[in-house]
Structure 1
Amino acid sequence: MTKRLDLRVDFAFKSLFGTHGNESILAAFLNAALRFPDEKKIQTVQLLDPHFNKENQEDKRSILDVHAQLEDGSRVNIEIQLNNKHDMEKRTLYYWSKMYSSQMKEGMDYGELCKTITINIVNFRYLSHITNYHSTFQLYEREQKVLLTDMLEIHFMELPKLLIKWRNREVDPREDQLVRWLLLLEASEDEEITQVLEEIAMQEDQVLKKAMDEWERVSQDPEVLLAYEARKKALLDEKSALKRAENLGKIEGEKIGVEKTIKTMALGMIHKGIDNETISDLTGLSQEEINNLRRQ
């Protein structure tokens, strides 16, 4: 069997879910993710330009992973993140606001603006205080939990939490279609998941079968593979840079902690009337640093 692309890499994800001709695959995923009742199931989706132009010189030029419009006009953005950059809330709100405001055209009334939904699929534990792998956020009044508006909807789907539930047999892709689609993103690294999904695809889910066939096809496309490997390398480089920055932050934090402890000790000695020379010998602080502490 051909080694398939890792669908957790955003380029591969977009190749399957965000490509013209694969709208039925995207619609099936969104029906599972948004839990629409049968009478409101998405039949068709329209893929939109994922690029947002800069409105001013200071603005960031935004590129969405998958940007689509539903039949009722609702806008949806799906973002997949391999690495935790520790900015997800702000990044999500920024992208949501760009999608929402981009609907406004000259002469439009605010009442014509449509619901805007962001779905974040992350390959790391993000919401440590929440046990569910799928969390949905909206705008509520704090005390009475009254919904202000349904125009904003933000989803987080944490793959590591889902995998734990899968291994503990707490979820079943045969019964839950969202579990089915999210496990597909992990299938390149797990033969058991691949086998189960292939059985489901052959027995009952024609759209999943189409997705797996398309996944197989793009995984053999030389041009796709070239771009995929380049993107995968960039993500690995990004992960290494984030790790270095994190380690540097820890070192700096430890250094600050030691310095704070030394200065606290020096202040205690000053209060006891110990002379500068003795304090300097015991703490390593300069005479100038000790004098600055005396003036505090």
Structure 2
Amino acid sequence: MRFISPKTDFAFKKIFGSSESKEVLISFLDALIYGGKSRINNLEIIDPYNAGYTTELKDTYLDVKAILNDGSTVIIEMQVLNVPAFDKRVIYNLAKTYSTQLKYGEGYSKLKPVIALTITDFTMFEQTDRYLTRFVFKEDQDNFIYRNQHLSMVFVELPKFSRSLEDLETASEKWIYFMKEAPNLEAIPNTLSEIPEIAQALTIANQANMSSKDLEELHKREVFMEDRKGEIRQALEEGKQEGREQGREEGKQEGREQGREEGKQEGREQGREEGRLLMQGLISRQLEGKLGAIPSEILEGIQQLSLEQLEALGVAMADFTTSVDLSNWLRDKQ
């Protein structure tokens, strides 16, 4: 057997976001959000995914939304690329989902909790070695939780997970192992098949059960994501190289106090401008991938944005569907 990676959008939504995925998704959420306890009796997948074929690849992230039996909404997102302002986008999507629950005239008592479950294929939090973390509102000094826990974020960082198949114990460990290692398996291991929903997920991910057109679509998605990873790696390497050159240049000025101070200031300004240009190029490529060809006058508007405005654009672009949305956003920033 050979299994496709659940980290691609084609597989992720087919496994967790289709109309047949209810039991799989319940098991997945119980494991990662509720520590393996059976808290979810039922759920409704919002806009169920129907596996189709694309002529153009646009998005570098994907999500599945579900409403639980208690009325809570869960946003499940698989993020492969560490793109600019991603951390802000998670908060934005969480807050937006919470704030748009109410219909006109409804009171705040109608609001239900929203949970953002985010799985990343990169490290987000260097401060801890834990691969599963949870964030809620807490008081800064005494560390007590806010009166309600309506907004929470759960993160799974796949690179931090290193348990072997033989060492898996909990349901969360088994699901995370599935997310990370499915393409490396040659059969459905007994350890994972102890959870029927993981066995079902692996059956869906089995290449033998997919058509040649499915596999071709999958290959297109994988190439697309690898190309985007390469762009980010190149941008980071260029930034490091420019930083090294700038540091050497500043070192030459150490003999002159005034020159050194001016050099530091100039270096900071230059570094900020170089960082702005790198982010501008990356966001422009992402926008073209998401929206298609961008008119030259809009690209000129993006070139005029400050670093802070580019970060804001990196968050806002998640809601753009056409270049008109982008044009309106730029006009509001003028």
TMscore range, shorter length: 0.7 to 0.9
The CA distance in 1 between the partners of 2:7 and 2:252, in whole Å, is 47
* SS state at 1:125 partner: coil
* Aligned positions of 1:210-249 closer than 5 A: 210-216=200-206, 220-249=210-239
Assess if the C-alpha contact under 8 Å between 2:62 and 2:79 holds in 1: no
- 1:31 maps onto 2:22 in alignment: no
Q: Which amino acid aligns with 2:11?
A: A
Q: Which amino acid aligns with 2:231?
A: A
The structure 2 residue matched to 1:186, chosen from 145, 158, 180, is 180
Q: 2:17, 2:64 within 8 Å by CA — same for their partners in 1?
A: yes
Is the alpha carbon distance of 1:107 and 1:233 closer, same or farther for their aligned partners in structure 2, counting shifts above 3 Å? same
Structure 2 SS opposite 1:27: helix
Distance in 1 between residues matched to 2:212 and 2:69, nearest whole Å: 35
Aligned 8 A contact 2:44 2:68 in 1: yes
The aligned amino acid for 1:229 is: H
Residue 205 of structure 1, CA deviation: 2.6
Unpaired runs of 5+ residues, structure 2, are: 50-58, 261-334
What is the aligned partner in structure 2 of residue 95 from structure 1? 93
Deviation at 1:99, TM superposition (A): 1.3
Q: What letter matches 1:184 in structure 2?
A: F
Distance 1:122 1:37, change over 3 A: closer
CA shift at 1:138, angstroms? 0.4
Is 1:199 aligned with 2:197? Answer: no
Q: Deviations over 1:223-252 (max 9, x none)?
A: 332332222111111101101110111122
Q: 1:103 to 1:218 in 2, by over 3 A?
A: farther
From 129, 132, 151, the counterpart of 2:130: 132
Contact 2:101/2:111 (8 A) holds in 1: yes
Q: What's the offset of the Cα at 1:180?
A: 0.8
> Which amino acid letter does the alignment assign opposite residue 172 of structure 2?
L
Q: Are the aligned partners of 1:10 and 1:81 in contact in 2 as well (CA < 8 Å)?
A: no
Give per-residue Cα distances to partners, 1:203-225, cap 9 Å, x unaligned. Answer: x3322222222222686233332
The one-letter code of the counterpart of 2:229 is K
- Give me the identity figure in percent: 27
Go from structure 1 to structure 2 and tell me whether the alpha carbon gap of 1:146 and 1:108 turns closer, same or farther (over 3 Å shift): same
Count residues with an aligned counterpart.
250
1:15 maps to a residue whose letter is K
Q: 1:265 aligns to what SS in structure 2?
A: coil
Cα distance in 1 for partners of 2:192, 2:258 equals 72
AA matched with 2:20: G
Ranked by relative contact order (alpha carbons within 8 Å, sequence separation 6 or more), the top structure is 2
Alpha-carbon distance, 1:50 to partner: 8.4
Using structure 1 for the length normalisation, give the TM-score: 0.75
Q: Give the C-alpha shift of residue 188 in structure 1.
A: 3.1
Q: Which has the larger radius of gyration?
A: 1
What amino acid sits opposite 2:220 in the alignment? A
Are the aligned partners of 2:9 and 2:62 in contact in 1 as well (CA < 8 Å)?
Answer: no
Q: What are the residue-to-residue correspondences of 1:13-52 with 2, within 5 Å?
A: 13-35=12-34, 38=37, 41-49=39-47
Q: Residue 121 in 1 paired to residue 115 in 2?
A: no
Shift of 1:261: 2.6
| Matching of residue 158 in structure 1 with residue 157 in structure 2 | yes
- Over 3 Å counting, the alpha-carbon distance change for 1:205 and 1:153 in structure 2 is same
**Which stretches of structure 1, 4 residues or longer, exceed 6 Å deviation after superposition?**
none
The 3 A distance-change label for structure 1 pair 239 and 269 is closer
Amino acid at match of 1:223: K
TM-score, length-scaled by structure 2: 0.67
Report 1:256-267 matches (<5 A): 256-267=246-257
**Helix, strand or coil at the partner of 1:147:** coil
* RMSD value, Cα: 2.8
1:147 maps to 145
Contact 2:120 2:155 in 1 (8 A): yes
